[in-house]
A and B are shown apart, each in its own frame.
Chain A
Amino acid sequence: MMAVARVDQMRKSISAVMTTGTAVCTFAAVGILLVILSHIALKGVGSLNFRFLVDAPKPVGEGGGIGNAVLGSVVLLGLSSAIGLPLGIAVGIYLSEVGHGRLAGGVRFIVDTLTGIPSIVTGVFVYAIVVLPTKHFSAFAGGVALALIMVPIVSRTTEEMLKLVPHSLREGALALGAPQWRVVLGVVVPAAASGIATGAILAVARVSGETAPLLFTAFGSRFFSTDLNQPIASLTVQIYNYAISPYDEWHAQAWAATLVLMTLILGINIVVRILTRRRF
């Protein structure tokens, strides 16, 4: 009897230790998040001012800002969304509503593959097919690279949202004699519209943080520009360049730029989460 009690005590101690351990892991992860976010806030807020947000970069010691980088990011995101969103949504519609059998399975596999390709490899590909032939870096190349990253993300969320639409809705429309394209475009897609939009927004937010593929497609610039045929600045590349520079002043600007970028990305993620939680 006593031996049993002792064994039991040991088992219970192990259980207590392990279950405490898992809690420690969780709070460590949350802790790291909060540490990183507070560093960004604390180190970035000092350099944040109006001039910083609107000026182009200046030589060290003269201040300057991320104005052109913000504009460049907007241009790149706009271009990549214009290419990537329709393509991604169309593929998502195909996978959910049109395709079946092995072809659809193959396409889904391809979409998954695209998701797993490191973004730098995508950048090399776009370099080869856009930058090399045109012989210069360009915003267009950057936009194409970002679009290729965006497409599989949007395709998957679109497919999921469409699959959530109850079959009864489709069947009701088909029973009224509507052709498939009408059912999909007129009934199913509108029903899933907010979910698809959410997926699109999240994909754009995700892509706004990409740096590697832009390094040798859009390349970067110290000037304001909206010319698609020229290199263009972006917030992420600017952060990278400033971070690895030897100047403290630029390091401070890197933190401030990060604060701007993170505010946007986090803001979008939190707002989306709040909105989608109410729906369910």
Chain B
Amino acid sequence: MAQAWRKDIGFRAGTGVFALLLIGIVGAIGVELTLQSMKSINQFGLDFWRTEIWDPVAGEFGALPFIYGTVMSSLIALCISVPLSLGIAVFLVEQAPRLVARPIGFLVELLAAIPSVVYGLWGIFILAPVIRQYLGPPFERLFGWTPFFRGPVTGIGLITGGLILAIMVTPIISAVVRDVLAAVPGSQREAALALGATKWEMIRVVLVNGAPGIAGAVILGLGRALGETMAVTMVIGNRPEISLSFFDPSYTIASAIANEFTEATSDLYLSSLVELGLILFFVTFVVNGIARFLVWNVTRKTGGVGRAA
């Protein structure tokens, strides 16, 4: 009897230990990143966030170009991906017959199974030339007088990074929004229809019902976009300069780390890169926390979010 009870405690403690280990690991990540950034933090302090200069030779490091590139590429990605994802989710939940919705939904989800480096490969050799030859020039001709579309259009730059991110983030946002819309009770749809709503007007009622969950899905997509590395570093140009033009090369925090980590020649250089990583860690921590909070309150199954991860 006592032996079984002891084994139970052992079992519970055993699994508990693993759980605590996980908490320890996350804490360790935060601590270790901070420790390794200390050199850079001590050297630059808060100026790190404001400095535009990234000059390894001179030993001057500033995070602003990367913050700009990360934020801009993610915003571009969301501007394209959110309407697209909403359209996909609405189509699959409200319009497509069930038999058709499942395989098509699976195909959309497969976009999430493609590794980042493969998106990068496709980006370099397919998307970039298409932007350079077909998609970019019309925009440059029409809007080149604005600072946002000034050439030259090389195909490698902020817009390519944003586009690739949009494709990568769409399956995630649409999968979560699908779950959110499916959780809206049918009585809401019937209420709208019974008052003489058209199909689209009824869909708008469903979207209003799902608004908090949709917001969570978008923020989840943002979190993914902020941290994407390989695809972005292969198509964004990796130039640490802030430029308003979408066609110009840019640089994100993740791509900087990927690109320069193994070539960091000095301790300060490495420390600055780690500090970039620390910033990214902190930002994605907060963004994902908000997203999970919003989505958790809306979808009944946790599988909706888990699928996206």
Contact, chains A and B (beta carbon distance below 8 A): yes
The answer to whether B200 and A19 have CB atoms under 8 Å apart is yes
Q: Does A78 contact B (CB under 8 A)?
A: no
Q: Does A55 contact B (CB under 8 A)?
A: no
Kindly identify, within residues 215 to 239 of chain B, every residue whose CB is under 8 Å from any CB belonging to chain A: 223, 226-230, 234
Q: Mark A203-227, 1 if CB is under 8 A from B, else 0.
A: 0011011111001100100000000
The answer to whether A157 and B200 have CB atoms under 8 Å apart is no
The answer to whether A212 and B254 have CB atoms under 8 Å apart is yes
Q: Assuming the A-B contacts A15-B201, A124-B277, are A156 and B226 also in contact, with contact meaning beta carbons closer than 8 angstroms in the complex?
A: no
Which residue of B is nearest A269, CB measured? B113
Kindly identify, within residues 23 to 57 of chain B, every residue whose CB is under 8 Å from any CB belonging to chain A: 23, 25-26, 28-29, 32-33, 35-36
Contact pick for B108, options A22, A24, A33, A106, CB 8 Å: A33
Kindly identify, within residues 180 to 196 of chain B, every residue whose CB is under 8 Å from any CB belonging to chain A: none
The number of chain A residues with a CB under 8 A from chain B is: 93
Kindly identify, within residues 166 to 194 of chain A, every residue whose CB is under 8 Å from any CB belonging to chain B: 179-182, 184-185
Q: Does B280 contact A (CB under 8 A)?
A: yes
Selecting from B118-126, B136-144, B146-154, B242-250, the interface stretch reads B118-126
Which residue of B is nearest A17, CB measured? B200
* Complex: A83 Cα to B229 Cα, angstroms: 24
The distance from the CB of B205 to the nearest CB of chain A, in whole angstroms, is: 13
The answer to whether A118 and B226 have CB atoms under 8 Å apart is yes
Q: Assuming the A-B contacts A119-B229, A160-B303, are A28 and B198 also in contact, with contact meaning beta carbons closer than 8 angstroms in the complex?
A: no
Q: Does A139 contact B (CB under 8 A)?
A: no
Which residue of B is nearest A181, CB measured? B11
Contacts of B92 in A (CB 8 A): 26
Q: Does B59 contact A (CB under 8 A)?
A: no
The answer to whether A11 and B292 have CB atoms under 8 Å apart is no
The answer to whether A15 and B281 have CB atoms under 8 Å apart is no
Contacts of A209 in B (CB 8 A): 113-118
The answer to whether A273 and B12 have CB atoms under 8 Å apart is no
Q: Does B22 contact A (CB under 8 A)?
A: yes
The answer to whether B116 and A179 have CB atoms under 8 Å apart is no
* Complex: A152 Cα to B29 Cα, angstroms: 15
Selecting from A46-54, A58-66, A239-247, the interface stretch reads A239-247
The distance from the CB of B16 to the nearest CB of chain A, in whole angstroms, is: 6
The answer to whether A29 and B170 have CB atoms under 8 Å apart is yes
Q: Does B167 contact A (CB under 8 A)?
A: yes
Kindly identify, within residues 3 to 32 of chain B, every residue whose CB is under 8 Å from any CB belonging to chain A: 4-5, 7-8, 10-12, 14-16, 18-23, 25-26, 28-29, 32
The answer to whether A118 and B22 have CB atoms under 8 Å apart is no
The answer to whether B22 and A107 have CB atoms under 8 Å apart is yes
The answer to whether A113 and B8 have CB atoms under 8 Å apart is no
The distance from the CB of A249 to the nearest CB of chain B, in whole angstroms, is: 14
The answer to whether A99 and B11 have CB atoms under 8 Å apart is no
The answer to whether A32 and B167 have CB atoms under 8 Å apart is yes
Q: Is the interface of B mostly helix, strand, loop or mixed?
A: helix
Q: Assuming the A-B contacts A121-B29, A255-B121, are A210 and B288 also in contact, with contact meaning beta carbons closer than 8 angstroms in the complex?
A: no
Which residue of A is nearest B87, CB measured? A25
Q: Assuming the A-B contacts A18-B200, A212-B258, are A117 and B122 also in contact, with contact meaning beta carbons closer than 8 angstroms in the complex?
A: no
Kindly identify, within residues 146 to 162 of chain A, every residue whose CB is under 8 Å from any CB belonging to chain B: 148, 151-153, 155-157, 159-160
Contacts of B265 in A (CB 8 A): none
Q: Does A201 contact B (CB under 8 A)?
A: no
Q: Mark B76-97, 1 if CB is under 8 A from A, else 0.
A: 0000000111111011101110
The answer to whether A125 and B32 have CB atoms under 8 Å apart is yes
Which residue of B is nearest A44, CB measured? B121
* Complex: A219 Cα to B258 Cα, angstroms: 11
The answer to whether A120 and B114 have CB atoms under 8 Å apart is no
Contacts of A19 in B (CB 8 A): 91, 95, 199-200, 203
The answer to whether B104 and A211 have CB atoms under 8 Å apart is no
Q: Assuming the A-B contacts A22-B90, A90-B18, A156-B302, are A265 and B115 also in contact, with contact meaning beta carbons closer than 8 angstroms in the complex?
A: yes
Contacts of A185 in B (CB 8 A): 11
Contacts of A40 in B (CB 8 A): 118, 122
Q: Does A95 contact B (CB under 8 A)?
A: yes
Kindly identify, within residues 243 to 264 of chain B, every residue whose CB is under 8 Å from any CB belonging to chain A: 254, 257-258, 261-262
Contacts of B274 in A (CB 8 A): 124, 128
5 A-B pairs with CB atoms under 8 Å apart are: A23-B95, A121-B277, A179-B7, A212-B254, A254-B121
A-B contacts besides A94-B16, A117-B227, 13 pairs, CB < 8 Å: A18-B203, A29-B170, A30-B107, A36-B118, A90-B14, A91-B18, A107-B23, A113-B285, A114-B25, A121-B29, A181-B7, A211-B115, A254-B121
Closest 6 CB pairs of A and B: A118-B227, A209-B115, A25-B87, A116-B288, A181-B11, A15-B200
B residues near A (Cβ < 8 Å) are 4-5, 7-8, 10-12, 14-16, 18-23, 25-26, 28-29, 32-33, 35-36, 83-88, 90-92, 94-96, 104, 106-108, 110-111, 113-122, 124-126, 167, 170-171, 174, 198-201, 203, 223, 226-230, 234, 254, 257-258, 261-262, 273-274, 277, 280-281, 284-285, 287-289, 292, 301-303, 306, 309
